[in-house]
Chain A
Amino acid sequence: MSAPNPSGWQPTMGDADYADEGFVTASGDRGLLLEEALSFEIGSAEKCGVDLIEPEHEPADALAPFLRKHAPDLPGLTEPEAVRHYSRLSRLNYGIDLGPFPLGSCTMKHNPRLNEKVARLPGFADVHPLQPTATVRGALEAMQELAHWLIELTGMAGVALSPKAGAHGELCGLLCIKAAHDDAGEMRDVILVPESAHGTNPATAAFAGYKVESIPATADGRVDLAALKEKLGPHVAGVMITNPNTCGLFERDMKAISDAVHAVGGYVYCDGANFNAIVGKVRPGDLGVDAMHINLHKTFSTPHGGGGPGSGPVVLSEALCPYGPLPFTERTDDGLVHLVEEDNADEFGHTKAFGRMTAFHGQMGMFTRALTYMLSHGADGLKQVAEDAVLNANYVLRQCEDLLEAPFGKAGPCMHEALFSDTNLPEGYSTLDIAKGLIDEGFHPMTVYFPLVVKGAMLVEPTETESRIGLDRFIASLRHVATRALNGDESLHAAPVLAPRRRLDETLAARKPVLVWKGEDSG
């Protein structure tokens, strides 16, 4: 079989027998630690939180054959009940608003509230995507302005704004590469991906119909340039490189990689998930990149919202620009910004645009937030963002590397995230214990078991959002938990014991999936 369990993650349930207060509560709540039932258990069909006046007459009409036999079986809640339900549920969550959220490669930085305010202006939030262009000039200008920022910050030739998230941007970039090769009459079927890549890279390449070939890493955690060169040839459509990479390191040979790939007629896709480390400091266009998605929800502070929405505009080189997807904005000499769609693409000279990635124009609500963030920071502030993010990560690396193995710590500084592994922990202690121990300390854990190339990886990304005091508190907790593991403190296996839930039985969830509520009998 293929490598069994490369990440090393193993389910552990911990010990249920933990000391509590010595008494039980009738409610199940414990002071401000509140439990909350499902909406299906507290709602009812008669309840509604929206006052709706039944239409005066309901004529029998042509819709009759299509009518539902029963209204959807969904209980309602009145407004006070609904507000309470969701407010109570929210308190079972950790968020950046509560403290550091050092998820490596996810870039959990502060979400400025001005962004939220601006995105909700009716002129942005209450505008239909298919309104006549004359009624949406300001929205198109905002898109054009965002495009300008992205192009200048990356040193690229153009940008496709419409991809919905990073992985969707990857698909967009590969579609552009495919379109360019098709246009040149070339059949290329291989995409090279470093073994340390995020899972979306190989998944995207495979989804896009390419064969994926893996490139090994060097001992210092970078792409092995010599190995990459050996794999290059006329069958290679391109490479997907993450820079800074998933180990938190800058790919020193990026320019050489680009040159080598270009020399055989391939294109360079850069995964821009970690652009926040170099924004305002290095321009990917100067490194020979042909396409790169930018996660607006990472580098440019739009909120993650418990898993999305994201936004993944893709900046493109001169060579790939003609192949970008519809629609996009373009400014004409008269200063007007136009929306280039199917009906006017030819008129604007975009005869090679490949079609749509999505309905409508992309994540406008994220564009306005990201633009607000860019304008707030300015070019000087964004440079400072990268510098502070990198400084904070190196500070964590150097303050903890005596206790936790830092696989690339000796090789030099890291970029925006510090990578540790559990290889120096005693038998029976793993990354999972460190992560769960941090929860009891009141912190969200770092990214764990990623990248796969490092056993028991722990990837800590503090971002520029953390203050010195906040960082010192986090470091003290990380050191404390690491010390507990190093000392063989068995109580760590039960962690977390202070969170709303103890370790959850993921094996049960996967073996006997319960994905929808089926009534009281489903537990």
Chain B
Amino acid sequence: MSRHFTKDHEWIDVSEDVGTVGITDYAQSQLGDITFVELPEVGSTVGKSDSVSVVDSVKAASDVYTPVSGEVVAVNDALADEPEKVNTDAEGEGWLFRVSLSDPGELDSLMDEAAYTTYIAGL
């Protein structure tokens, strides 16, 4: 399994061509307390960088872009009752949705953990 990152602060873990997507711990810290997560519909087809989800805090709403193209195969239903999981475990239990990748080659354009760490240090 490998973890990749986007400049827009999404992470994706890929296992057998299914990617699990969430927002990074850095992003959740910038947002503050997350109050609501709007998730994509399972079965919908999404294109790389499409806005497919929205993460709300009290005074901000941020679009989440999918790092890869494909079909949404699962969403994290637990966030409906406990959106705070994105705060407490953004890169684990706070995952947002899973995409079955249509073009695994898209992963090549993403950052690895070291590159992302360097990137946010420069923000």
Contact = CB atoms under 8 A, between A and B. Distances in A.
A225 to B, nearest CB: 30
Interface residues of B, number: 24
A507 B84 CA distance: 10
Interface string B42-60: 0000000001000111111
A10 B9 CA distance: 19
Contact of B64 (A1, A7, A11): A1
Contacts of B65: 1-2
B35 A9 contact: no
B23 A1 contact: yes
A518 interface: no
A9 B31 CA distance: 9
A11 B32 contact: yes
Max chain A C-beta neighbours (<10 A), residue from B23, B36, B57: B57
A5 B35 CA distance: 13
Contacts of B56: 510
B30 A511 contact: no
B110 to A, nearest CB: 14
B83 A511 contact: yes
B84 A511 contact: yes
Given A506-B58, A510-B58, A511-B84, A1 B32 contact: no
Contact of A510 (B31, B35, B64): B35
B60 A4 contact: yes
Contact of A507 (B8, B35, B51, B62): B35
B91 to A, nearest CB: 14
A378 interface: no
Nearest to B87: A507
Given A7-B59, A506-B58, A511-B83, A1 B36 contact: no
Max chain B C-beta neighbours (<10 A), residue from A7, A9, A449: A9
A507 B36 CA distance: 10
Given A507-B35, A511-B36, A1 B55 contact: yes
B76 to A, nearest CB: 15
B36 A510 contact: yes
Given A511-B83, A511-B84, A5 B32 contact: yes
A1 B9 CA distance: 6
Interface residues of A, number: 15
A10 B28 CA distance: 11
B86 to A, nearest CB: 11
A11 B9 CA distance: 21
Interface in A1-52: 1-7, 9-11
A325 B30 CA distance: 45
Nearest to A507: B33
Nearest to B6: A1
B27 interface: yes
B65 to A, nearest CB: 6
Contact of A2 (B8, B35, B57, B83): B8
A1 B22 CA distance: 10
Interface in B64-123: 64-65, 83-84
Contacts of B23: 1, 4
Interface in A184-217: none
B63 A9 contact: no
A132 B6 CA distance: 66
Contact of A1 (B8, B33, B35, B83): B8
B62 A5 contact: yes
A112 B55 CA distance: 44
Given A510-B56, A511-B83, A511-B84, A4 B62 contact: yes
Contacts of A7: 59-60
Contacts of A449: 59
Given A507-B58, A510-B36, A511-B36, A5 B31 contact: yes
Nearest to A9: B59
A509 to B, nearest CB: 8
Contacts of B63: 1-2
Max chain A C-beta neighbours (<10 A), residue from B35, B51, B56, B63: B35
Nearest to B33: A507
Contacts of B8: 1-2
Contacts of A506: 58-59
Max chain B C-beta neighbours (<10 A), residue from A4, A449, A506, A510: A4
Contacts of A4: 9, 23, 27, 30-31, 55, 60, 62
Nearest to B83: A511
B90 to A, nearest CB: 11
Interface in A268-288: none
A363 to B, nearest CB: 30
Contacts of A1: 8-10, 23, 27, 55, 62-65
B34 to A, nearest CB: 9
Contact of A5 (B51, B57, B83, B84): B57
B53 to A, nearest CB: 8
Given A1-B27, A1-B55, A4-B27, A9 B64 contact: no
Given A4-B9, A4-B31, A506-B59, 5 more contacts: A1-B9, A2-B62, A4-B27, A506-B58, A510-B56
6 closest A-B pairs (Cβ-Cβ)?
A510-B35, A507-B33, A4-B30, A5-B60, A10-B32, A2-B63
21 contacts: A1-B8, A1-B9, A1-B10, A1-B27, A1-B62, A2-B8, A2-B62, A4-B31, A4-B55, A5-B30, A5-B32, A5-B57, A7-B59, A10-B32, A11-B32, A11-B57, A449-B59, A507-B35, A510-B35, A510-B36, A511-B33
